[in-house]
Amino acid sequence: MTTFLQLMLNGLGKGAVFALLALGFVVIFKATEVVNFAHGSLVLFGGYLVLVTKDTVGWAAAAVIGIVSAGLLALAVERLLLARSRHADPFSLALLTIGVDVIITEEVVRRLGVSLPFIGDAWDAKPLQFAGVTLFRTHLVALGVAAVLITAFFLAFRYTTWGIALRAQAENPEAAALVGIRRSRVTASAWLIAGLLAGVAVLFIATQDFSGAGLSRGTHSIALAAFPAAIIGGLDSTAGAIVGGLAVGLVDALSTEYISFAFAKSAVFLVMLVVLVVRPAGLFGTRETTRV
Amino acid sequence: MRRLLFKAAAVALVLPLAACSTKGGAETNSTGVTDKEITLGVMADLSGPFKSLSTAITQGNELWAKDVNAAGGVCGRQIKLETVDHGYKADTAKTLYPQIEPKVLGFVQLTGSPVMAALGKNIEADKVTTTPASWSSELLNNPYAMIVGTTYDIEMIDGLSYLQEKGMLADGDSVGHIYVDGEYGANGLRGSKYYAEQHKLQLHDVKITSTDTDLTNVVTGLKGQGVKVILLTTTPKQTGSAAAANKALGLNVPILSNNPAFDPALLKSPAASALDKLYIVASTVPFSADIPKAKEIAQKYAAAGYKEPPNAGTPYGYAVGEVWGTVLKKACENKDLTRDGIHKAMQQTTSADTGDLVAALNFGTPGAPATRQVYVAQPDASAPGGTKYVQPLFEAEAAKAYKAPHEGQ
């Protein structure tokens, strides 16, 4: 029973970070219908900035620099590359993001030395023991941060002008343009937010508690592992990002113990496959309806 | 008659040329050997999961070559090293091998079980004596593999004996073994299975891949199984994760690892405080060992101005050089500096001395590890190289009785 409880806690803690990552995919997809495959490289870039600045400015300031830098890089990618192809098909733009991803990732990995750069200084490897189970501080903070950010986005989508503009654009881009919603502003803000989220997520990923590895190519792989989370929840659903993220964390933890470690990696994709067969738009995604 | 004379003259001319074939040995040239140089290959992992270890081994190789050359070289020739980085990727190594192989007499380093597995047939076909920086006894089916040190299976057997002798393990206990997929992990597991059978241990083995890094869920499961010891045949990052989880989850059992599983960089990671339960088994001395040869190498390492932090790879790389020096000298005495000559000289090397950097080695028995002796070390942040040894060279009774997979074949 203790083992089961511990695995549930491990899974939920990791799931919170996957939810943050999935939300990054969702924000951009909701605004532009583009799947951003460069999300992993934004995560790496944010982490790299934390790494190179933390000895000079201290960890907290470095964390802010990392988050802002990842946001600005995402904004730059959108403004300089995607905005220039505004009539391009979302699928073509998704392919473009793969190219961006490769370039940024390879450059960051090239710059990383032989050290093991862990960047979750404030919470990493400081576990708490409680009633026979271990609570990893990284997981706890990640759960808290994810809860706050996701609630904030949920409210912003629903009640702010920006949120309404974004939803309107997602619903019907032409009608949104006709009522004066500036497509470029909505799109740019979505990319900026996704980048900021990537910058936040890496502070939890490149830790002993979460990945057992410092900033490396593996960090990028973990960020991409959040893609099934977004798909499971529904690519255009904020609530789906949470459920998908937690589902990925739990499936991974439980299948490691009750089936096998090797199976755990495919288990997440198996769940994704089942969800897609039963609900092609994901658990909470908008079903596409066509008038016939 | 004139024609006959002409033929005789032609034969007389050709005969001395034939005598100048490579078999002439020390006086003539063969692959990787000129009148002035002997070129040895280094196929290292300078950018993959074992980059710290492999970089240190390469530096040890370089320090040896520098010393030998300063002393006049071997067989009147200077030693030149040709180094390539395969990043622990077998496909990259496959591409690099045809480029480097025609330039070298032998390989003083070839890091990684997957790489050795991919190149094993080429090495055999090209008859190129190779020192794998990979200590799997499965490799000993290749007659050209010259493993300096003992093998992973024997490291595990010796290490488990040490833990049992120190009262950290008892017959019938539950033991977890986390191992990476492939020859490295499988060979470590072979040793733990052998020991588990002998001592009725309940072995819970978990297979992972070399790119996995978070073992929290695996250690959670092992805790549920009530393990008394965790065995690791893993990468250093995985060792860090397992040690951190061992402590964080309140399991706190001793951890026994094969030699490549530790990297001093872990002492600067968040897992540092969890490494006090780690025991590393290796047949090479730690960098900071209190023996004259190791101290000499540590001084030379400092003088060379290498940027990377040192580890046990440096004395090992130097020791491999010393073994190669012994083999090359023997080949020189035999007047056969060809690849065949090197192989023959290796088999004649029954007592390679490395100044105790590595246990005394005997390459005379095909298929058998060159030694069964190991040191046991523990991480120590204050020691240069990151480890101190807690048990000098020893050979467990169980290791003596163990038969390696290709022994006697």
* Residues forming beta bridges with residue A135, ordered by sequence position: A128
Please give the pLDDT value at position A114.
57
At residue B42, the 3 state secondary structure works out as: strand
Touching check for A252 and chain B: CB below 8 Å? Answer: yes
In chain B, whose CA is at the least distance from the CA of A9? B217
Q: Is the pLDDT of residue B16 over 80?
A: no
Compute the average pLDDT of residues B199-219. 94
Work out the angle between the directed axes of helices B113-125 and B183-198 (0-180°, nearest 10).
110
Q: Which residues of A touch B244 (CB under 8 A)?
A: 125, 208-209, 212
Burial class (CB in 10 A: 0-12, 13-18, 19+), B37: middle
Candidate from A118, A127, A262 with C-beta closest to B248: A127
Q: Is the pLDDT of residue B1 over 70?
A: no
For residue B174, give the H/E element and its range.
strand B174-180
Please give the pLDDT value at position B190.
97
**Average pLDDT over chain B, rounded to an integer:** 90
Touching check for B269 and chain A: CB below 8 Å? Answer: yes
Distance between B54 CA and the closest CA of chain A, angstroms: 11
Q: Which residues of B touch A253 (CB under 8 A)?
A: 217, 220
DSSP code for B361: B
Please give the pLDDT value at position B25.
42
B346-405 pLDDT tens trace: 989 888 878 889 988 989 888 999 999 999 999 999 988 899 989 988 999 999 999 999
CB contact under 8 A, B274 and A257: no
Q: Which residues of B touch A2 (CB under 8 A)?
A: 224
Touching check for A256 and chain B: CB below 8 Å? Answer: yes
Candidate from A10, A114, A115 with C-beta closest to B55: A114
Testing the interface with A: which of B214, B223, B238 to mutate, by most A Cβ within 10 A?
B214
In 3D space, the residue among A52, A83, A58, A49 whose CA is nearest the CA of residue A192 turns out to be A83
* Sign for the pseudo-dihedral over CA of A169, A170, A173, A176: negative
Written as one string, the DSSP assignment of B217-256 is HHHHHHHHTT-SEEEEES-HHHHHHHHHHHHHTT----EE
Residue B288 pLDDT class (50, 70, 90 cuts): confident
Please give the pLDDT value at position A218.
87
Q: Is the pLDDT of residue B26 over 60?
A: no
Compute the average pLDDT of residues B287-315. 91
Residue B235 · residue B50 · CB < 8 Å: yes
Candidate from A7, A134, A214 with C-beta closest to B217: A7
Q: Which domains does chain B have, with CATH numbers?
A: 26-150+287-371 (3.40.50.2300), 152-282+392-401 (3.40.50.2300)
Please give the pLDDT value at position A110.
86
Testing the interface with B: which of A134, A135, A204, A205 to mutate, by most B Cβ within 10 A?
A134
Please give the pLDDT value at position B366.
85
CB contact under 8 A, B216 and A10: yes
Please give the pLDDT value at position A116.
63
Residue A290 pLDDT class (50, 70, 90 cuts): low
B217 vs A176, which has greater pLDDT? B217
| Side chain identity at residue B185, one-letter code | G
**CA–CA dist A234, A241 (Å, integer):** 7
* Residues forming beta bridges with residue A152, ordered by sequence position: none
Q: Which residues of B touch A261 (CB under 8 A)?
A: 206-208, 212, 217-218
Please give the pLDDT value at position B43.
97
Touching check for B306 and chain A: CB below 8 Å? Answer: no
Please give the pLDDT value at position A291.
66
Q: Is the pLDDT of residue A119 over 60?
A: yes
CB contact under 8 A, B244 and A2: no
Please give the pLDDT value at position A112.
83
In 3D space, the residue among A232, A229, A228, A227 whose CA is nearest the CA of residue A275 turns out to be A232
Q: Is the pLDDT of residue B22 over 50?
A: no
* Cα–Cα distance list, A180 to A157, A168, A184 (Å): 18, 11, 12
Q: Is the pLDDT of residue A283 over 80?
A: yes
CB contact under 8 A, A262 and B207: yes
Residue B308 pLDDT class (50, 70, 90 cuts): confident
Place of tokens 């343009």: A177
**Average pLDDT over chain A, rounded to an integer:** 90
Residue B293 · residue B64 · CB < 8 Å: no
Q: Which residues of A touch B85 (CB under 8 A)?
A: none
A180-198 pLDDT tens trace: 888 888 899 999 999 999 9
B40-93 pLDDT tens trace: 999 999 988 888 899 999 999 999 999 999 999 999 999 999 999 999 999 999
In chain B, whose CA is at the least distance from the CA of A121? B270
- A184 token code pair: 């470029």
Please give the pLDDT value at position B11.
44
Residue B27 pLDDT class (50, 70, 90 cuts): very low
CB contact under 8 A, B237 and A116: yes
**Neighbouring C-alpha atoms within 13 Å toward the C-beta of A142:** 36
Candidate from B218, B237, B248 with C-beta closest to A256: B218
Q: Is the pLDDT of residue B19 over 60?
A: no
* Cα–Cα distance list, A225 to A154, A272, B184 (Å): 23, 12, 27
Distance between B264 CA and the closest CA of chain A, angstroms: 10
Compute the average pLDDT of residues A268-276. 91
CB contact under 8 A, B270 and A207: yes
Please give the pLDDT value at position B17.
41
CB contact under 8 A, B265 and A218: no
Instruction: Lowest mean pLDDT of A72-81, A90-99, B58-67, name the range.
Output: A90-99
Please give the pLDDT value at position A113.
62
pTM score above 0.90: no
Candidate from A2, A124, A212 with C-beta closest to B213: A212
Q: Which residues of A touch B51 (CB under 8 A)?
A: 114
B254 vs A174, which has greater pLDDT? B254
**CA–CA dist B136, B250 (Å, integer):** 33
DSSP code for A60: H
Please give the pLDDT value at position A217.
87
Which residue ranges make up each domain of chain A?
Answer: 22-215
In chain B, whose CA is at the least distance from the CA of A133? B249
In chain A, whose CA is at the least distance from the CA of B224? A3
Residue B29 pLDDT class (50, 70, 90 cuts): low
A12-21 pLDDT tens trace: 999 999 999 9
A15-39 pLDDT tens trace: 999 999 999 999 999 888 899 999 9
Q: Is the pLDDT of residue A77 over 90?
A: yes
CB contact under 8 A, B266 and A6: no
